[in-house]
Structure formats: structure tokens, C-alpha cells
Amino acid sequence: MNTNSLATDSGFESRRRWVVVGLLCLGMIIAYVSRGNISVVLAIPDFIKSFHFSDTGRGMINSAFFWAYVALQVPAGWVVDRYGVKYPYAIGFVFWCMASASTSFARSVAQLATLRVLLGTFESLVAPASITWIRRNFSEVERGLAVGVYLAGTKIGPAVAAPLTVWLTMQYGWRAMFLLVGVGGVVWLVPWLLFVKNDAPQISSERQKKGGDATIPFSRIMASPVTWGSVILSFCYMYFVYFCMTWMPAYFIEHRHLSISKMGTYTFFSFGGMAVTAALAGWAADRMIARGGNPVTVRKWFTIVALAIACTELIGAQSSSVNVALVFAIVSLSGLGLATANYWALTQTLIPASAIGRVSGVVNCSASLAGIAAPIVTGWLKQRSGGYQAPMQAIWFFLVVGALSYLVLMREKYAPRAKVTTRL
């Protein structure tokens, strides 16, 4: 498939596409603020006491969002492949904002966990929908920047979530904070409904034209080494990210003895640096590919180098200096941003467009499993070892596994291919 066949339009249509990418980024920011604010309040002693949380209990609540989110990734990908992006995303958005706002009324751990599960249910469409829309509307030489801008939202969201949650909680209390975040996000729907075209009729038309000649059975997709390379890398990459989202606020406060306001500032710079690196790395890879670089080679090595830089988090973790630890918290997470756009763009390169929703669901399912594993494993290791050294070593282990698997499995010859039946 010639991925450059998607023309780079000029004028209004080109501007509209980039406006939509901006909306996808903003939607992801809202999603991550909604899912990440719980981690900040779980570092506040009054909130912990009100629900009588242990370290393991905090890990369980941090992971509750992902229980439904993981299970629904592949079905969400199927929905997007079948019904398009515009309206499924809009419906999911409305309901996740309602679930986020309703957290303000939680009175028990059971109610809190249920609302986190509902939030994960309705946010399950966001990644398959966003990746699918970009795959269908951008060529190979533009896709890295488009994915980078969109995925910058996954870093800006946590960066904004910490200081925003701290400020709203200090000003109005944690219940009002959840209500304001949930209700405020609904404004996003206005430009989304105005600028995004309904792509369901286009998908239906394309399916009729193909007449079933080109199909990729789900079993063949799952058997591809490319799929498993993406799955393993996604888990390992996101294990570090979700540690930072769920436990880094507590690490800064409990282990490095920062104030809650300084914790919010350093969390902002860690994820903010990752967001900037993600967009720049996607753009840089696009330029290298446009000048003749092999897309698979370029994006693959951006990803591997990113994981190598991320391993420097262990230097900060082992240092007795607070300043050294904070510097490497920022450097390691910012360095990981080199992979953000490129590993998703490479998945799009090696997977046919007709299956990208399903494959995005599978890959994001793996990423979401890390969202369950990272907070629980970290809480368990911290409780067993009495500190953060063991959890930090676990991060390093997963980063190395991810780099090695990507090196071996992400090859163009392994890409799943459709069987095409020639009509006589």
C-alpha cells in the first residue's frame, strides 16, 4: 500500500485537518486530566484518611480506571472501524465527563472505584478513534508530526493535571475539583461537532467497493511479529509513564520531601518536556523520511534511543541528591518522548488502514494493562521493600525488555498482509 497516496491538501481542507489534530490533542489532555487527577489527591493525607487507604489500596484505586478500559480497547477499535470516528467519540466524551464530574459525590471506596471503572469505559474509544482518524487523513511524510501533536496531549494532560488539580483542590476542595474538571470538559464538543466530518458513510462506501476482496483475519493480525513488537513496546513504554502518572506525585512528596506545590511543578516539567519532545521527534522523523529515509528504520531507531535515554531514571533514583533525582526525572521522561509519535506512526505504517482501528485497540490494550500493572506492582513493591528503589528497578527492567523486543520484531517483512482475491 502506498502510504503517500493520501494527498497533502492545500487551503481550507489542510487547515481543517490540523484543527482536528489539535482537537484530538485537546481531547486527550481532557481525558488525561480526568484520569490523572485521582493520583494527585491520593497523595493528600486528608483524602487518604477519609477513605482509609493503605499503599496497596491506593494502587488499586489508581488502577481501577483501567479495568474496563483494557477490556474494551479491541471492541472500541471495531466500533471505529465500523462506524467511524466523529459520533462514537462524541458520545463517549459526554459520558466520561459525566463520570468524572460524579466522582465529587463519592462517599465510599466502592463508589469511587465504580466511577473510575465507568470513566475507563467511556474513555476507551479515545485512542483507537484518534489513531484511526490520523491514519485515514495523513500521508507517511506528515504522520509523525500529526501523531506527535495528538500524543503531546497524553503528556500535557498529566503535566497540567498535577498543578491544576493541586490549585483547584487547595482553592475549592477535592469534591469541587472533580466536578469542575468533568463539567468544564464538555465545552470541547462544540468545535468537535463543527469541524469533524462524519466519516461513517465513507467507510461504508469503501467497504462496498472492496466487496470483501481484501480481508485481514484477526488471527493473522495477532500472529504477526509486528503486532507483538508493538504490543510489548507499548506495555513497557507505558509502564514507566503510568508509574509517573500514578506514583510520581507520592514519590516526590514522600521520598524527596517536596511540598505539594513543588510536586505539581516538577510533574508539570517532566510531562511537559515529554510533550515537546514527542512533537519535535515526530516532525524530525517526518523530515528524514521525506528526504529518502526508510520509514521503518527511522521510526524504529527513534524509539529504541528513547527507551535508552529513559533508563537514566535509575541514576536519579539511586542518587541521594534531591536535585540530581529531579533532573533525571525530567530527562528520562522527556527522552522517552522520542518514541511517543514514532512507535504509533510505525504501527500505522506497517498495518493496513482497514485494520488500524482494531490493531490500535490491541496495542492500546497492552498500554492499558501497564496502567493496571504499574500502580499495583509499585504499591506492592513499595510496601514489601519499604521504599522506592525496587519500583524504580522494575521500570528499568521493562524499558530494556521493550527495546530488545522492538529491535527484533519490528521489521517490514513481518507486516500482516491482506489476501487479495483476483476476479476473473
The 10s digit of each residue's pLDDT in 219-250 is: 777 788 988 999 999 999 999 998 887 788 88
Q: Is the pLDDT of residue 373 over 80?
A: yes
Band the pLDDT of 358: cuts 50, 70, 90: confident
Whether residue 152 lies inside any domain: the answer is: yes
Whether residue 422 lies inside any domain: the answer is: no
Q: Is the pLDDT of residue 211 over 70?
A: no
* Predicted local distance difference test score (pLDDT) of residue 177: 94
Band the pLDDT of 419: cuts 50, 70, 90: low
Band the pLDDT of 43: cuts 50, 70, 90: confident
Rg of the chain on CA atoms, in Å: 21
Whether residue 87 lies inside any domain: the answer is: yes
What's the gap between Cα 153 and its chain centre? 8
Distance in angstroms (rounded) separating the CA atoms of residues 218 and 401: 26
* Predicted local distance difference test score (pLDDT) of residue 66: 81
The total number of structural domains that make up the chain: 1
* Predicted local distance difference test score (pLDDT) of residue 24: 95
* Predicted local distance difference test score (pLDDT) of residue 220: 78
Q: Is the pLDDT of residue 63 over 90?
A: no
Taking the alpha carbons of 255, 260, 261, 264 in that order, is the dihedral positive or negative? positive
Domain containing 23 equals 12-195+219-412
The helix (H) or strand (E) run that includes residue 215 is strand 214-215
Distance in angstroms (rounded) separating the CA atoms of residues 288 and 292: 7
Q: Is the pLDDT of residue 65 over 80?
A: yes
* Predicted local distance difference test score (pLDDT) of residue 402: 94
The 10s digit of each residue's pLDDT in 265-321 is: 777 888 888 888 988 999 999 999 999 999 999 999 999 999 999 999 888 888 888
Distance in angstroms (rounded) separating the CA atoms of residues 128 and 125: 6
Angle between helices 356-385 and 73-83 (to 10 degrees): 160
The arithmetic mean of pLDDT across residues 130-136, rounded, is 88
Which residues, including other chains, have CB under 8 Å from residue 45's CB and lie 6 or more apart? none
DSSP for 154-181? Answer: HHHHHHHHHHHHHHHHHHH-HHHHHHHH
Q: What mean pLDDT value characterizes the chain?
A: 84
Whether residue 174 lies inside any domain: the answer is: yes
The 10s digit of each residue's pLDDT in 95-117 is: 999 999 999 998 888 899 999 99
The x, y and z cell numbers of residue 143, run together, are 504522520
Band the pLDDT of 209: cuts 50, 70, 90: low
Task: Compare 77 and 353 and report the one with higher pLDDT.
Answer: 77
Whether residue 213 lies inside any domain: the answer is: no
* Predicted local distance difference test score (pLDDT) of residue 421: 45
Whether residue 52 lies inside any domain: the answer is: yes
Distance in angstroms (rounded) separating the CA atoms of residues 25 and 19: 10
Band the pLDDT of 367: cuts 50, 70, 90: confident
Q: Is the pLDDT of residue 206 over 80?
A: no
Cα separation values, 50 from 28, 41, 107, 137, Å: 30, 11, 9, 48
Task: Compare 412 and 381 and report the one with higher pLDDT.
Answer: 381
* Predicted local distance difference test score (pLDDT) of residue 205: 54
Band the pLDDT of 3: cuts 50, 70, 90: very low
CATH number at residue 33: 1.20.1250.20
For the entire predicted model, the pTM comes to 0.72
Task: Compare 201 and 406 and report the one with higher pLDDT.
Answer: 406
Out of 10-24, 156-170, 211-225, pick the least confident.
211-225
The arithmetic mean of pLDDT across residues 214-221, rounded, is 68
Whether residue 66 lies inside any domain: the answer is: yes
Whether residue 255 lies inside any domain: the answer is: yes
The arithmetic mean of pLDDT across residues 79-86, rounded, is 87
How many beta carbons lie within 10 A of that of residue 35, not counting itself?
25
